[in-house]
């Protein structure tokens, strides 16, 4: 096997131009076209030699002998990681996103709007994972007795988001007792993380049980049930504009779409996928098979986490064909995440 040449400046430039052109045209790029486009004053024959090397290295591939080349996943990866020059965003787009996000009442509406905006701005699909209830701030709690020993718990969390839950009370409580329990919790815990509140409750009760009044023990017992994340339906991933994806029909057959939509509707898979993006800061990209989900094979996911108080709580982004205009999409997703974070922070009102 001959020694492979290193990926020099020229080869990188040619790869860049090839990927750009493929993204733009959607057709395999041949040596003649690339020679014309690259602006290097090289003959197609020379270009062919370089292309051959790039293919050997696994960055491009040809669908058949007499076709041009198109990027492989590694090719896209290299392109995105070190060749891409992002485009500044259009002012009008920025203004529109900022305005639309600014006019939303609840954080639920806000995130739904974000998903819609992402989809409209890109003509692809927008995705937004909602923050875990766990990580938002405890703001106010209220108990309402229903029939048959059940209690309606109304929990207001940091972003004025309202959660309802019905729990089975361990015993019958009077309205007064419930009021007292709610008061205790509201005074004691307002503003703290919901997860922290629960942990504190568990610890305190077990440590100092003997010294607590029956009243407090009751309050803690109800609160533990009320805040138990067990059986809590995790908020879904909001996907908007999936239908747009059907416009990218270089494919004439239904199967890819069927399997794409199947994956998108698999809430758990999507949640798990989005959660993988929450750890690293900045824009994250899964190209094609990188996501590990079969249905996403020919698609890319561009995401960024959004934060409340500098803590990443959720992820948003865009799904589209691998050959999307990354140089426009990346800054768009980045900006949207920042604006959503800003809007959420603004909405995080002090406790009642």
Partner DNA sequence: TTTGGCACTCTACTTCAAAGACTGCTAATC
Partner DNA sequence: GATTAGCAGTCTTTGAAGTAGAGTGCCAAA
Shortest CB 26 distance to DNA, Å: 12
Q: Which residues neighbour 260 within 8 Å (Cβ) at sequence distance 6 or greater?
A: 245, 295, 296, 299
Question: Residue 175 interacts with a copy of itself (CB under 8 A)?
Answer: no
Helix axes 31-38, 9-25, angle to 10 degrees: 110
Shortest CB 67 distance to DNA, Å: 5
Cα–Cα–Cα angle for 164, 103, 349, nearest 5°?
Answer: 55
The partner in contact with residue 42, picked from DNA, a copy of itself, none with C-beta cut-offs of 5 to 8 angstroms by kind, is: DNA
Which one, 49 or 90, has the nearer CB to DNA?
Answer: 49
Could you tell me the two tokens for 197?
């509140």
The partner in contact with residue 32, picked from a copy of itself, DNA, none with C-beta cut-offs of 5 to 8 angstroms by kind, is: DNA
Question: Residue 75 interacts with DNA (CB under 7 A)?
Answer: no
Question: Residue 249 interacts with DNA (CB under 7 A)?
Answer: no
Using CB under 8 A, pick the residue from 162, 183, 232, 268 that binds a copy of itself: 162
Q: In the range 188-227, which residues lie near a copy of itself by CB under 8 A?
A: none
Could you tell me the two tokens for 198?
């629960």
Which one, 68 or 241, has the nearer CB to DNA?
Answer: 68
Using CB under 8 A, pick the residue from 27, 183, 249, 311 that binds a copy of itself: 249
The partner in contact with residue 213, picked from DNA, a copy of itself, none with C-beta cut-offs of 5 to 8 angstroms by kind, is: none
Q: Which residues neighbour 42 within 8 Å (Cβ) at sequence distance 6 or greater?
A: 35
Shortest CB 17 distance to DNA, Å: 13
Shortest CB 133 distance to DNA, Å: 51
Compute and round to an integer the Cα radius of gyration of the chain: 26
Could you tell me the two tokens for 99?
């305005």
DSSP 278-343: SSS-SEEEEEGGGG--GGGTTEEEEEEEEEETTEEEEEEEEEEETTS-HHHHHHHHHHHHHHHHHH
Question: Residue 164 interacts with a copy of itself (CB under 8 A)?
Answer: yes
Contact by Cβ (8 Å): 142, 258: no
Question: Residue 42 interacts with a copy of itself (CB under 8 A)?
Answer: no
Question: Residue 2 interacts with a copy of itself (CB under 8 A)?
Answer: no
Using CB under 8 A, pick the residue from 1, 4, 176, 352 that binds a copy of itself: 352
Q: In the range 53-72, which residues lie near DNA by CB under 7 A?
A: 55, 62, 64-69
Q: In the range 3-62, which residues lie near DNA by CB under 7 A?
A: 27-33, 41-46, 48-49, 51-52, 55, 62
Could you tell me the two tokens for 351?
């406790």
Which one, 202 or 243, has the nearer CB to a copy of itself?
Answer: 243
Burial 233-250 (b: 16+ CB within 10 A, else e): eebebbbbbbebbeebee
Question: Residue 259 interacts with DNA (CB under 7 A)?
Answer: no
Question: Residue 256 interacts with DNA (CB under 7 A)?
Answer: no
Q: Which residues neighbour 105 within 8 Å (Cβ) at sequence distance 6 or greater?
A: none
Among 33, 38, 70, which residue's Cα sits nearest to residue 54?
70
Measured distance CA(50)–CA(58) in Å, rounded: 13
The partner in contact with residue 164, picked from a copy of itself, DNA, none with C-beta cut-offs of 5 to 8 angstroms by kind, is: a copy of itself
Q: How far apart are the first and last CA of the chain?
A: 73
The partner in contact with residue 140, picked from a copy of itself, DNA, none with C-beta cut-offs of 5 to 8 angstroms by kind, is: a copy of itself
Which spans of this chain sit near a copy of itself (rule: CB under 8 A)? Answer: 105-106, 140, 142, 144-147, 152, 154, 156, 160, 162, 164, 166, 243, 246-247, 249, 252-254, 257-258, 261-262, 265, 349-350, 352
Which spans of this chain sit near DNA (rule: CB under 7 A)? Answer: 27-33, 41-46, 48-49, 51-52, 55, 62, 64-69
């Amino acid at each position: 096997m001959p020694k492979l040449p290193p990926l020099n400046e020229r080869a990188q430039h040619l790869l860049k131009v090839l990927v750009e052109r493929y993204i733009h045209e959607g057709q395999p790029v041949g040596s003649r076209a690339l020679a014309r486009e690259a602006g290097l004053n090289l003959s197609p024959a020379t270009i062919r030699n370089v292309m051959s090397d790039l293919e050997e290295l696994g960055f491009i591939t040809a669908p058949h002998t007499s076709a041009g080349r198109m990027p492989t996943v590694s090719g896209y990866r290299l392109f995105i990681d070190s060749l891409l020059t992002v485009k500044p965003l259009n002012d009008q787009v920025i203004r529109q996103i900022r305005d639309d996000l600014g006019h939303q009442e609840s954080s639920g509406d806000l995130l739904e709007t974000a998903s819609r905006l992402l989809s409209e701005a890109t003509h692809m699909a927008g995705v937004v994972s909602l923050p875990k209830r766990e990580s938002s701030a405890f703001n106010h709690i209220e108990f309402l007795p229903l029939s048959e020993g059940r209690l309606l718990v109304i929990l207001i969390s940091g972003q004025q988001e309202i959660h309802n839950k019905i729990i089975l009370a361990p015993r019958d409580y009077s309205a007064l007792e419930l009021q007292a329990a709610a008061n205790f919790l509201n005074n004691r815990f307002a503003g703290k993380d919901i997860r922290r509140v629960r942990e504190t409750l568990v610890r305190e009760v077990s440590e100092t049980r003997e010294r607590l009044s029956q009243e407090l023990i009751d309050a803690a017992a109800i609160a533990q049930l009320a805040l138990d994340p067990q059986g809590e339906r995790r908020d879904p991933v909001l996907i908007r504009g999936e239908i747009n994806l059907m416009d990218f029909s270089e494919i004439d057959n239904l199967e890819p779409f069927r399997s794409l939509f199947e994956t998108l509707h698999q809430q758990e898979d999507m949640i798990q996928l989005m959660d993988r993006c929450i750890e690293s800061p900045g824009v994250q990209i899964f190209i094609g098979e990188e996501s590990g989900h079969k249905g996403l094979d020919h698609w890319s996911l561009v995401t960024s986490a959004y934060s409340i108080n500098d803590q990443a709580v959720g992820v948003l982004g865009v799904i589209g064909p691998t050959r999307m205009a990354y140089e426009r999409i990346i800054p768009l997703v980045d900006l949207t995440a920042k604006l959503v974070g800003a809007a959420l922070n603004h909405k995080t009102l002090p406790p009642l």
